[in-house]
Structure 1
């Protein structure tokens, strides 16, 4: 898949991390029903590989499906076998190269300019600034865009509605949103509330424009 193009088109990555595998799967499917095209299932959630495998079966072969918290080469291989089509990492570990070798584009976690340069050398598809809220939010993103104006940055970590709006306005290609969007749905919480939040975030990125 062309991950940079998908990020630029949809501008939102939903991050699903749940304590209940069935609830996490239900969350993925509801987000897809609500028109959120880019969904990441974190390997730090319960039985995440099974969630990915079941989600792939339900969503069909063509929709993108991401795997998050990819730390090792084994993580990348297992997620690829389960049906993930792109990988998200918190940093520049061995999972990056392994995912690339498997043909999965990588949204790689960085924080500093040095890490941005190192990630570019690894031929990653886009860069996840993590954790953005704790690092200065949109102001820090804007500072990074100075020396790296053409890099597709995706701020993640503490991204609520206000941070999402500010980062998109500052030049983020997309934003990654976990608990402010997913809430407790992946732990067995309200699906109705999840739908409401999904519509809010969908509206927010649509307002931000391309």
Structure 2
């Protein structure tokens, strides 16, 4: 990855704004705004709306316009052209499942701070070499979970993580106790049955539980 480092001075601040970043896939565009409002009402302001569905960009645009208290990120960035589109829709940071030279270049040219996914020590080192100090351990549990994070905290002490993938409310505290973890990502805050029922009170309750978790 022979590219200039990409400084991301605001990304760690964003990560520390919520102990949990919900990973959101919008199947029904009408749910986007009330879902975001319910999460923010429960104390979870940092939201990752993924591009896993056709409504991803439209949902980001709607939330950006109607839920100003949300700190809005775009997830599942896998193509360079998605960066500028997500930024223009209102996202203020991006999340990718992995990292390539093309994604690094797109992040730099778009100005969208990127939280890239890594799974191995070599991938962490390559991302760090490219200028990234905030990374997503993904998928966190298959990658080794808490044991992996603790093992690399010594040799790679200048990197902070948002582990995502297989984490629940019950296991989140174990991850948040790691000295190199700033927050965790999870989908448990947005269960499909609650979304289908429009049970925003339940979403707010789940967000309140998550926002009460402590880092470190």
What TM-score, normalized to structure 2?
Answer: 0.87
1:197 aligns with 2:175: no
Q: 1:43 to 1:186 in 2, by over 3 A?
A: farther
Q: Please state how far the C-alpha of 1:150 moved relative to its aligned partner.
A: 2.0
Other-structure match for 2:183: 174
Give the one of 34, 37, 40 matched to 2:42: 34
Match of 1:65 in 2: 72
1:102 equivalenced with 2:113 (yes/no): no
Kindly state the Cα deviation for residue 209 of structure 1 after the two structures are TM-superposed. 4.3
Q: Deviations over 1:183-209 (max 9, x none)?
A: 1145555212111111111112xxx24
* Unmatched 5+ stretches in structure 1: none
Matched, 1:135 2:148: no
The aligned counterpart of 2:92 is: 85
1:163 Cα offset (Å) = 2.1
C-alpha distance in structure 2 between counterparts of 1:43 and 1:114, whole Å: 27
| Counterpart-to-counterpart distance in 2, 1:189 and 1:134 | 32
> C-alpha separation between the residues in 1 aligned to 2:130 and 2:94?
14
Is 2:58 the counterpart of 1:50?
yes
1:163 alignment counterpart: 171
Alignment correspondent of 2:4: none
Q: Does structure 1 retain, via aligned residues, the 8 Å contact 2:107–2:113?
A: yes
Residue segments in structure 2 that go unaligned for 5+ positions in a row: 1-8
Cα distance in 2 for residues equivalent to 1:21 and 1:176: 22
- Rounded Cα–Cα distance in structure 1 between residues aligned with 2:107 and 2:133: 11
Paired residue total: 205
**What does residue 82 of structure 2 align with?**
75
* Map of 1:119 onto structure 2: 127
Give me the whole-angstrom Cα distance separating, in 1, the residues matched to 2:135 and 2:141: 16
Q: Distance in 2 between matches of 1:193 and 1:90?
A: 28
Q: Deviations over 1:8-57 (max 9, x none)?
A: 34332121112212113321222122221211100003411110111111
Partner of 1:17: 25
Deviation, 1:135, is 2.4
The answer to which of 104-113 and 136-145 deviates more is 136-145
- Give the distance between the partners of 1:103 and 1:167, measured in 2 at CA: 30
More helix as a share of residues: 1
Deviation digits for residues 98-126 of structure 1 (CA, Å, limit 9, x no counterpart): 12322111111000111111111232351
- Cα RMSD of the aligned pairs, angstroms, is 1.9
What's the CA shift for 1:143? 1.3
